[in-house]
Amino acid sequence: MSSHNRSHDHTLPIHEQLNMHMDQGWKETLQNKMDHNGPWDNYEYYKLAYEIETERLIPSFDDLQCLAQIQHITPLPHQIDTAKRVLYEMRGRAILADEVGLGKTIEAGLILKEYMIRGLVRKALILVPASLVLQWVRELNQKFGIPAVAQKKKYMWEHPIVVASMDTAKRDPHKEMLLGMNYDMLIIDEAHKLKNKKTTNYQFITQLTKKYCLLLTATPMQNDLKELYNLVTLLKPGHLGALGNFKQNFVVDKRQPKNETELKQEIQKVMIRNLRSESNIPFTKRNVQNITLDLSKDEQALYDNVTKYIKDTYQQAGMKSLLSLVTLQREVCSSRDAVFVTLFNMFKKLREDSPLRSPIWELILQIKSIESNTKADTTLDLIKKVNDKVIIFTEYRASQEYLLHFLKEHQIICVPYRGGMNRGKKDWMMDLFKRRAQVMIATEAGGEGINLQFCHHVINFDLPWNPMRVEQRIGRVHRLGQAQDVNIYNLSTKNTIEEHILHLLHEKINLFEKVVGNLDVILEKVGNPLEKEIMNLIVKTNDEQELRAKISKLGDSLSPAPH
């Protein structure tokens, strides 16, 4: 056996390993003592050297050395297994695609810490959404003892471990500085935002010099197999071949793969996706209550008139205005404030001689006559009933502002959380919610990245049409560390599109009890993006019963296939 191979042979007796690992200086010291001071002094120094070298020995190259240095957390088996696979099988380049709430951040921290201990990573850059920068810094410092800093000033890029937002990093003068640096490791959270190869974010990441790279996302593909291809190519260029070859070998159309077994094998060489159903982790239960509400007479009349306006206008304006038109219908179901803002902005943009101005103005006048909000009244009753912390999710900023004012009038202490707030304010809102406020009212920014295990009541004031966005919301509270059963209250209004969406998400996809997603679902055939499918059904279907039947059929096509 060569000396090189013997140095890694952990089956050798400990004294032989010591002889191989002990540096020449120690050996010379021992020899001098043996020559001049007799056998007793030599034995004392030998024992000292023995203890030192025993500490320095790595018992097994396959063990994670970082586990002995992490004091404040106990990683779960799937997290340790993920770290080992990234180290030994994927050579430090991987997509961490665990389902929401399984601890991708912990896995990334383990991997980074291990590489640092082994001397393989000295400089790392971690790019995350702005709202998560301080959270990442805290977790790396407190849980892993990694001296990470949040980038605040230009000179801080020189620090060994920096956490920053993508928006900051890609802007000059920061961009120029970063492109001139060599990173041992790059970590990107919410990496699905890099799915488009043409974006400045994607191009920026390709230009960064990095030895190891981790991409974290629970949704590596949503609408197109090319999204998955782009992420894999960003991580490991050439792994799936050129785009033309990839399409020829693996794509029937953009959402339908071929040669699926081979494709999955290639994807699994660079992606790890742990599932709740396979993790054997005892998650608390989800208790779901669907609350369907009868709109007041005035609210229902407004909804009906907006629906008529949408269908009439669609015939004239066509596909370009489809999104804004259907948004009106959803906003009516949320609050009069939300639909008022959109209608008023539409009114201002139209020319004075436009035939569309008059019907919009009539709707605005109708809004002014509405005094109640059925959903808000129900929300207030729920908050009083649970008498505990509650997070409310709404789709619209105007509805959020209305609820803040409405709940304050009823002596409920609440705080907002939304995109547009700077990092400091978001952290402040989180702290206030944890320590003082009973309610947090969040727009979609609250569905991304934050951890709210201290809360176990969720009110979906408005329901998104994308199932994964619903799961991301629930995943804020129903995650590792949640000690209580999670109560989910879904509000929907009868005789509106919301009633159909609730039927789709709850009865057809069984979304609220079960977590969406596994590798099979990611790669399975789906139709057009769900939101677009529903919009088309709304404007092209005149009869409510027919609309229900079509949405039900759409739900059947999205239901997970039996295994």
Question: What are the boundaries of each domain within the chain?
Answer: 3-56, 71-279, 286-291+373-524+545-557
CATH number belonging to domain 286-291+373-524+545-557: 3.40.50.300
Rounded to the nearest 10°, the torsion over CA 231, 237, 241, 243 is 50
DSSP letter for 183, please: E
Please give the C-alpha separations between residue 237 and each of 187, 219, 233, in angstroms, as whole numbers. 17, 20, 4
**519/273 Cα distance (integer angstroms):** 7
Locate 175 and state its tokens.
Answer: 């961009």
Q: Exposed, middle or buried, 542 (CB in 10 Å: 0-12/13-18/19+)?
A: exposed
**289/177 Cα distance (integer angstroms):** 52
Please give the C-alpha separations between residue 21 and each of 3, 32, 68, 156, 512, in angstroms, as whole numbers. 11, 19, 21, 38, 57
Locate 244 and state its tokens.
Answer: 């033309």
Radius of gyration of the chain (CA): 29
Amino acid at 83: A
Fold observed for domain 71-279: Rossmann fold (3.40.50)
Nearest alpha-carbon partner for 245 in 232, 261, 229: 229
- β partners of residue 396: none
Residues 6+ apart with CB under 8 A from 130: 165, 167, 168, 422, 423
pLDDT value of position 11: 44
pLDDT value of position 322: 67
pLDDT value of position 152: 80
Locate 473 and state its tokens.
Answer: 């919301």
- β partners of residue 186: 125, 213
3-state secondary structure of 355: coil
- List, for the chain, all residue ranges whose pLDDT scores fall below the cut of 70: 1-46, 50-62, 222-223, 254-255, 315-323, 445-449, 508-509, 511-529, 557-563
**516/471 Cα distance (integer angstroms):** 7
State in Å, rounded, how far the first CA of the chain is from the last one. 50
Quick check: 108 and 187 in contact, CB under 8 A?
yes
Give, in degrees to the nearest 5, the angle at Cα 342 between 340 and 345: 105
Nearest alpha-carbon partner for 276 in 103, 472, 80: 103
Same fold, 71-279 and 286-291+373-524+545-557: yes
Residues 6+ apart with CB under 8 A from 385: none
Residue that is written with structure tokens 């120094």 in the block: 45
Element at 234 (helix H, strand E) = helix 225-235
